[in-house]
Amino acid sequence: MIEEKKTSKTRLDFQTKWEYSPAPESTDHIQLKDQYNLFINGKFVEPEEGRYFDSINPASEDKLASVAMATEADVNKAVKAARDAYNKIWSKITAKDRGKYIFRIARLIQERAREFAVIESLDGGKPIRESRDVDIPLVAAHFFYYAGWADKLKYAFPGRDPKPLGVAGQIIPWNFPLLMAAWKIAPALATGNTVVIKPAETTPLTALKLAEIIQEADLPPGVVNIITGAGKTGEALVKHADVNKIAFTGSTEVGKIIQKTLAGTDKKYSLELGGKGANIIFEDAAIDQAVEGIINAIFFNQGHVCCAGSRLFVQESVAEEVIAKLKDRMGTLIVGDPLDKNTDIGAINSKAQLDKINELIESGINEGGEIFQSGCDLPAHGYWCRPTLFQEVSQSHRIVQEEIFGPVLTIQTFRTPDEAITKANNTPYGLSGGIWTDKGSKIFNTGSKIRAGVMWSNTFNKFDATSPFGGYKESGMGREGGLHGLLPYLELK
Ligand code: NDP
């Protein structure tokens, strides 16, 4: 498989010489209804106005199910159910019993992991390898982890008296649908709060399957309510007078709207917003590993990742080598059917998101960036974007400043660590970053000067239930995960 090119360098040619037989994951074992209602007070109930919207498969544009559109009246109903459940049941039972329910949810998710993984890939477009090996195991891990905290809160905050807030309103995005639901629901329940959660419009199905598990776990009615709908549904939840806490993950734009709405109220809130992560490769890094790290940092989940390493900074002395290897590696990535186990990059989550990505790619070209895209085949139907990189870009380019949320990488070079730090920090965001080097001291010196909530060294996009996650600047406020993730749901007396 090695081909001699004119440059006399040996290069891998996967495009023409490697063929993979299809390896599709079966869909026989999943159960999807044609229509889903709202999950309020332990039951599936019809929406007050009787309106439904379609959830489609972005890889085929086929309809998967119709889903209830919750309006203000439904939000009121869900919040009332959550309040009643809080007052009458959830705040009264022992912390140990709360923990038992959460453990039960975790175990049921593990039992049905395969079904969840397939539905996540169908509804959201992500490769089955990722939903199977990353999303769903992390979902179970979050429930297990926070189940363990339920009866140990006083050890988490010694000398303090932690009290739940009451009803938590939670709004989640479409990039990690079930995982974001777990990040929100697990700590809220463990700390003694009840929940009203709104999944994103394009990916509601795994949250609705979670509602089935919640029923099966016999969680008292009203402790978790799941209301599907659009931005207006989220807005009604944020504005509801009887909600004590808002937890939001999504765009910085909507995060700012929520922050304005909540200013002057006594609601507690946490915001996990956008990012423009810097991935810094020093000349002493293990280059082949770093190239794999770059691929993972930007192409994982089609780049629909708030902490994606979407800005690459390479030390000038190794830039040529790194970029050549990166382009070769991009040529090997398989874009296509999310349910095929060979697939590296699945479908873009929606037509709207594909349009946004294409508009930003266009702006990169118009502003003078040098584009490189892999030459892979794309399926005839569905929403797809080839793995893309841009060279010859500067700090002022839109594609260097704005969150693209797609498989698009910008590359810039640097000479000194200080230059890399200055460039890495030159963005309104502060969520994540990565450093690749052989020297531990360089990791600490550089990492400590980059204003980002999460810094990875010699790896990227590693998540763990025990580890806090969150941003600075326009990437939001508050932390999710780990012991820190308990705090946004508690009042410490
Ligand atoms: P949004 O921020 O609009 O969506 C996130 C969630 O908020 C969804 O559930 C959405 O509902 C809901 N929502 C929308 N408007 C409001 C509102 N006024 N009040 C309360 N809730 C609201 O993200 P988009 O889906 O529109 O994506 C736009 C861009 O945001 C992406 O291109 C990407 O750059 C960024 N993004 C960042 C994410 C992150 O994790 N940092 C996650 C998702 C997006 P609905 O889905 O029904 O519109």
Closest atom, ligand 1, to C-alpha of 306: 41
Cα 251 to averaged position of ligand 1 atoms, centre (Å)? 5
Cα 257 to averaged position of ligand 1 atoms, centre (Å)? 11
CA distance 227 to 310: 33
17 exposed, middle or buried (CB, 10 Å; 0-12, 13-18, 19+)? exposed
Q: Which residue has its alpha carbon closest to ligand 1 atom 35?
A: 251
Q: Which residue has its alpha carbon closest to ligand 1 atom 21?
A: 234
CA distance 206 to 418: 44
**HEC profile of 213-250:** HHHHCCCCCCCEEECCCCHHHHHHHHHCCCCCEEEEEC
Q: What is the pLDDT of residue 4?
A: 39
Closest atom, ligand 1, to C-alpha of 255: 2
CA distance 493 to 477: 22
Q: Which of 25, 120, 201, 272 is catalytic?
A: 272
272 is catalytic: yes
Q: Which residue has its alpha carbon closest to ligand 1 atom 46?
A: 200
Tell me the CATH number for domain 35-273+472-492. Answer: 3.40.605.10
Cα 156 to averaged position of ligand 1 atoms, centre (Å)? 32
CA distance 30 to 153: 37
Q: Which residue has its alpha carbon closest to ligand 1 atom 16?
A: 231
The boundaries of every CATH 3.40.605.10 domain in the chain are: 35-273+472-492
Q: Which residue has its alpha carbon closest to ligand 1 atom 32?
A: 405
* Domain 278-457 indexed as CATH 3.30.450.20: no
CA distance 185 to 267: 18
Closest atom, ligand 1, to C-alpha of 171: 9
User: Hey, how many other C-beta atoms are within 10 angstroms of the C-beta on 89?
Assistant: 15
Q: What is the best residue among 251, 267, 276 to mutate for testing ligand 1's pocket, by most ligand atoms within 8 Å of CB?
A: 251
**Binding pocket residue ranges, ligand 1, CB within 6 Å:** 171-175, 198, 200-201, 230-231, 234-235, 238, 249-251, 254, 257-258, 273-274, 306, 353, 356, 403, 405
Q: Which of 9, 8, 6, 3 is nearest to 321 (CA)?
A: 9
Q: Which residue has its alpha carbon closest to ligand 1 atom 12?
A: 231
CA distance 23 to 6: 35
Distances (CA, A) of 487 to 254, 268, 482: 23, 11, 10
Q: Which residue has its alpha carbon closest to ligand 1 atom 25?
A: 173
307 is catalytic: no
Q: Which of 120, 201, 235, 306 is catalytic?
A: 306
Closest atom, ligand 1, to C-alpha of 202: 46
**Contact at 8 Å (CB) between 120 and 27?**
no
User: Hey, how many other C-beta atoms are within 10 angstroms of the C-beta on 48?
Assistant: 17
Q: What is the pLDDT of residue 493?
A: 86
The boundaries of every CATH 3.40.309.10 domain in the chain are: 278-457
341 exposed, middle or buried (CB, 10 Å; 0-12, 13-18, 19+)? middle
Q: What is the pLDDT of residue 13?
A: 66
> Can you give the pLDDT of all 493 residues of the chain as single tens digits?
344 344 445 666 666 667 789 999 999 999 999 999 999 999 999 999 999 999 999 999 999 999 999 999 999 999 999 999 999 999 999 999 999 999 999 999 999 999 999 999 999 999 999 999 999 999 999 999 999 999 999 999 999 999 999 999 999 999 999 999 999 999 999 999 999 999 999 999 999 999 999 999 999 999 999 999 999 999 999 999 999 999 999 999 999 999 999 999 999 999 999 999 999 999 999 999 999 999 999 999 999 999 999 999 999 999 999 999 999 999 999 999 999 999 999 999 999 999 999 999 999 999 999 999 999 989 999 999 999 999 999 999 999 999 999 999 999 999 999 999 999 999 999 999 999 999 999 999 999 999 999 999 999 999 999 999 999 999 999 999 999 999 999 999 8
Closest atom, ligand 1, to C-alpha of 258: 19
Judged by DSSP in three states, 5 sits in coil
Cα 124 to averaged position of ligand 1 atoms, centre (Å)? 14
